[in-house]
Amino acid sequence: MLITDEQFTSCRQTVMDANPNMTPELAGRIVEEALKFVAACAYNPGAGLVPSRIVDEGWHALIVHTAMYADLCQRLGGSFVHHAPGYGPENYAPAILDRTREAIVALGWTVDTELWAAPNDESLVSVAAKCQHSDDSGPIVTIPKPKPKGVV
């Protein structure tokens, strides 16, 4: 396990707090996938990996546990996995999620494919996270890209 049971329980509760009526089982699955995602990013810097919108909800829960998250990144190789939020479902690129899932599998984990749905697929769950990330030069980029200062 990448984090302690107590830390996992706290992160799972954070997901549930942001998503009323979500079951502990589903929230736990989301946190598990977020942990796998962070590990894949840490072990594959610069690979342009991104989470699904559902998995991003779990990543948010990890990040707000700042000391735990910093320690996790340190133990996974020392490279802090940053998050720059962005939203734009039109930027959804299935091939990028495929690459991310392949990186997770390469680390020896199984992917919970139900949680890697397209951003507009709410058949399993609708989450509070309004992020949809797209590939660029790092694990996460801002979408839409901010305009340079002075450009309208």
Instruction: Tell me the three state secondary structure of residue 13.
Output: helix
Tell me if 98 is assigned to some domain. yes
Dump pLDDT digits (tens) for 74-114.
999 878 888 876 666 666 778 888 999 999 999 999 999 99
Q: pTM score, two decimals?
A: 0.82
Tens of each residue's pLDDT in the chain, 152 residues? 799 999 999 999 999 999 999 999 999 999 999 999 999 999 998 888 889 889 999 999 999 999 999 999 999 987 888 887 666 666 677 888 899 999 999 999 999 999 998 777 766 676 656 555 555 444 444 333 444 455 44
User: In terms of C-beta distances under 8 Å and separation of at least 24 residues, what long-range contacts does 21-26 make, across chains too?
Assistant: 22/125, 26/124, 26/125
Q: What is the rounded distance in angstroms from the CA atom of residue 66 to the CA atom of residue 82?
A: 12
Tell me if 143 is assigned to some domain. no
Structure tokens at 38: 């962070």
Tell me if 132 is assigned to some domain. no
Q: What is the rounded distance in angstroms from the CA atom of residue 73 to the CA atom of residue 20?
A: 29
Tell me how many domains the chain contains.
1
Q: What is the rounded distance in angstroms from the CA atom of residue 56 to the CA atom of residue 60?
A: 6
